[in-house]
């Protein structure tokens, strides 16, 4: 059975920008180990247009275009799309949760749920909220 992961923007940034936590925790190393461990034929790393948009905004155009190639050319990376109807649901959830979780984080939950993938993220609120929507969410070092 294939291993399915939807990888949040923060994990790519951890890796590509060699990020560490406040206490010096090697986030980038844990992200690298996660990708190396699961870089097999039976693994799919999903991403979405939202992930690409966030990466473009944070990295800048030149760096984004270089990094984007790693995603789109990788056999293990697959892009997900939501329908117009799917996008209406997060707005309702966002209002229900009084905006304590963002619209884009809700989209990440929907993408993960759509393909039954583990959501890989560092976002504490997202990890806490995911089970309420039937999604498993973990940090890379937990996998």
| pTM across the whole model | 0.88
pLDDT band at 90 (very low <50, low <70, confident <90, very high): low
* Angle, CA of 90, 68 and 10, to the nearest 5°: 50
Please give the pLDDT value at position 110: 87
- Which range of residues forms the domain containing residue 34? 3-142
Q: How many domains in the chain?
A: 1
Give the CATH number, domain containing residue 104: 3.40.50.1010
pLDDT band at 73 (very low <50, low <70, confident <90, very high): confident
Contact 45, 77 (CB under 8 A): yes
Overall size of the chain counted in residues:
143
């Amino acid at each position: 059975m294939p291993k399915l992961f939807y990888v949040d923007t923060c994990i790519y940034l951890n890796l590509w920008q060699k990020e560490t936590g406040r206490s010096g925790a090697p986030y980038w190393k844990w992200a690298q180990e996660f990708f190396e461990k699961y870089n097999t034929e039976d693994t799919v790393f999903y991403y979405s247009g939202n992930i690409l948009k966030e990466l473009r905004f944070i990295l800048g155009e030149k760096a984004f275009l270089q990094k984007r190639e790693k995603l789109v050319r990788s056999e293990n990376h697959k892009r997900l799309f939501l329908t117009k109807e799917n996008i209406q649901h997060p707005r309702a959830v966002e209002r229900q949760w009084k905006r304590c979780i963002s619209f884009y984080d809700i989209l990440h939950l929907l993408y993960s749920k759509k393909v039954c993938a583990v959501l890989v993220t560092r976002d504490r609120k997202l990890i806490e909220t995911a089970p309420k929507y039937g999604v498993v969410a973990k940090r890379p070092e937990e996998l």
